[in-house]
Amino acid sequence: MNSDGGFHVMERNGKLFLVYHHPKYQPIQQTQSSIPSGEAANNDNLLQPLFLCPFERYRKQYQYLARYSDHFPINSSPEYEQDDHPAVPHLFWCNKKEFEVNGGCDICKGSDFGTDYYLCDHCDRIYHKECVESPVKIKHPYHPEHSLQLYFYWFQTGSNIIECLCCGRIVGLLVYYCTICEVFMHPICAMKPILFTIDPPKKHDHPLTYFPRQNSLTCNVCGSLSERYPTYVCLRCNFVAHRYCMYSPHVIKISRHHHRISYISSLQSREWFCWLCRRSIDHNYGAYTCKECGDYAVHLKCALGKDVWDGEELEGVAEKDDITQDMEPFDMIYGGGIFHFLHDHHLWLEVSKLYDESKFCQACVLPIFEGNYYSCKDCYFFLHETCAKARRRVQHALHPHILELEYFYIYTSYPGYLQCDACHRNFSGFFYRCHFQGCRFKLDVQCASISEPFDYKGHKHPLLLALNQEEKLICHICKTICHKQLNCITCDFIVCIKCATLPYKAKYQYDTHVLQILHGDEVCEKSWCEVCEHDLGDMSKQMLYWCHECYTTFHIECLLGEDLYLKPGSVLVLSLKFYTVLQKNQISRPYCDFCKNRCKSKILKRGNIIACSMKCIE
């Protein structure tokens, strides 16, 4: 192509817009000025070229790569050329009064369709007009410093979520990308008309005008200075607002607070701290506050985080508490028994007297060795008394939507286990699941027990859930990167949720006493592990299980094993092979056929092959 096009100032219905136009594909009829300079087409009846299917365009570019890459630039024209295959182009232009196709664009994953789109009858896919006609580079007013290059960007599972600068939604496959600033845009967002003056705006009384030097002004709505967000200013009263902040909701409900919170343009003149990130709030700028709790305030950007807010504007919506509609998890029956909604038989209350390692709770999958529990007389089903009382529906601090309690049926569910989205441990017991529009967030019952402030036995101060999960921090206990973590604002102590939810008490088959988890500084006497018989090393930097009576010590992984939440009897599908989870051998510890070490706890068995954990197999 000879030109990449540009944005031009155009008047529509008495309002000024910055409108993207390509002189070859979209002749502009009235241009008052241009940004950047470009020639308008004189012929309004210019014949439109034939375009290539975007997936065929991807295939053409991919075949020239020297090696596999999950993202690469597109340098080829969107136009159909004579040497392209198939011999006849299959991409058809559609123009309808109503868009009749369900789903979104098959190349950018966006669903913002108008009446104009393309249909490929060869691959049976639909595409935005902008995605099909996308030039290899554009210069966008929201990012004037650098050109944006068209990329194919495959996002791997577990990778960081990347959002469009314009709409804030997740981007995928076909994107415009600045490699210098890590800025992304959907093609359809990159070519949308930009309203030059917004009148009336949502967060101000006067018209706001687009200001391209966004990195030089502090937003009055969120109180931050950002080089990325498009900025609008009020020429009458020195008011500044990011485009994203301008449309922020007035009333919301977040997962970290039990009341609704409302936006306020400024706070009383005193010291304020955000209850989410625990940093100071400048009272001269906007924030969210709670009318019920006088000292509760949070930053706008903290409150609108995807792990905190469910995306619903509640202004004008009657207040209702979904949690109060929750039903009890069981019904009481005559004789002190219960009928739990996740089991078919009656359960009866008992007191644990003798330790039986084969007797474990079906909810948390941990052994039952002390306290009250419920048992079934018709089948081998047990529940800790506390687990039996787990609520059917919860609003948890780790997720913005309502979670519902479910039971993972190990004998009918493939592949025999689930993974908790908080601690990333594999499990096969009770869990909470989100059913909001296919969200499918999962939380095992151990992680669901976390609340703020959290009393962690290995630390003297209360811990709080960290807000910015994109920042990869190291857990002070296991020395690995935290997926989600709790931190101490007094002394910068950090513990991952995986370590924080380890059982406080445990049992060892050759010790009649109950063991407790302690920090190494609190442990004295022996400096070796009773299971592996290896030296404990620097105990000041680790958590251990310790017997107060016998002064014996245990590595956590030696006592509990790697897969402590996998139910014995489960059949797992690992590497396309079936493995059965077995209770650890009481007489001997077999060798793992993968890591060649002795198995410390539960084993996974397939025929004569033995593994000490899922990690060894995978």
pLDDT digits (tens, 9 = 90+) for 203-254: 788 888 888 766 678 899 999 887 777 888 988 888 998 888 888 999 999 9
CATH code of 509's domain: 3.30.60
Tell me: do 127 and 230 sit in the same domain: no
In tens, the pLDDT along 134-193 reads 888 998 888 888 889 999 887 654 456 678 888 878 887 889 999 888 889 988 888 888
Cβ-based neighbours of 125, under 8 Å, separated by 6 or more: 53, 55, 106, 107, 119
Tell me: do 116 and 8 sit in the same domain: yes
Tell me: do 522 and 601 sit in the same domain: no
Residue 221's nearest CA partner among 141, 308, 161, 304 is: 304
Helix (H) or strand (E) holding 145: strand 143-153
Tell me: do 180 and 301 sit in the same domain: no
Residue reference for tokens 């890590």: 182
Last residue of a domain, one of 258, 291, 320: 320
Distance CA 610, CA 605 (A): 5
| 424 in a structural domain | no
DSSP class of residue 216?
Answer: G
Task: Supply the pLDDT for residue 88.
Answer: 47
CA angle, corner 62, sides to 56 and 63, nearest 5? Answer: 95
Tell me: do 123 and 240 sit in the same domain: no
The beta strands (E) that lie in 547-612 are given as 553-555, 571-574, 577-582, 603-606, 609-611
Tell me: do 231 and 141 sit in the same domain: no
| 431 in a structural domain | no
Residue 386's nearest CA partner among 423, 407, 361 is: 361
Tell me: do 547 and 577 sit in the same domain: no
Neighbours of 461 (CB within 10 A): 14
Tell me: do 200 and 189 sit in the same domain: no
Cis bond before residue 144 (omega within 30° of 0):
no
In tens, the pLDDT along 387-404 reads 999 999 999 999 999 999
Q: How many domains does the chain have?
A: 5
| 372 in a structural domain | no
Average pLDDT over residues 453-473: 80
Helix (H) or strand (E) holding 506: strand 505-507
| 172 in a structural domain | yes
| 530 in a structural domain | yes
Tell me: do 208 and 71 sit in the same domain: no
Distance CA 347, CA 339 (A): 6
| 467 in a structural domain | no
Task: Supply the pLDDT for residue 437.
Answer: 79
DSSP class of residue 540?
Answer: G
190 three-state secondary structure: helix
Residue 212's nearest CA partner among 4, 5, 9 is: 9
Tell me: do 289 and 163 sit in the same domain: no
Tell me: do 224 and 272 sit in the same domain: no
Statement: residue 522 has pLDDT above 90: no
Task: Supply the pLDDT for residue 432.
Answer: 95
| 332 in a structural domain | no
Q: Note down the domain range covering 314.
A: 248-320
Whole-prediction pTM value? 0.78
Last residue of a domain, one of 320, 339, 362: 320
Tell me: do 25 and 39 sit in the same domain: yes
Q: Residue 80 class from Cβ within 10 Å (0-12 exposed, 13-18 middle, 19+ buried)?
A: middle
| 110 in a structural domain | yes
Cβ-based neighbours of 29, under 8 Å, separated by 6 or more: 44
In terms of average pLDDT, the best of 53-67, 460-474, 481-495 is 481-495
Residue reference for tokens 């060795």: 369
DSSP string, 272-318: EE-TTT--EE-TTS-EEE-SSSTT-EE-HHHHT-TTTB-S---TTSP
Helix (H) or strand (E) holding 241: strand 240-242
Last residue of a domain, one of 320, 338, 373: 320
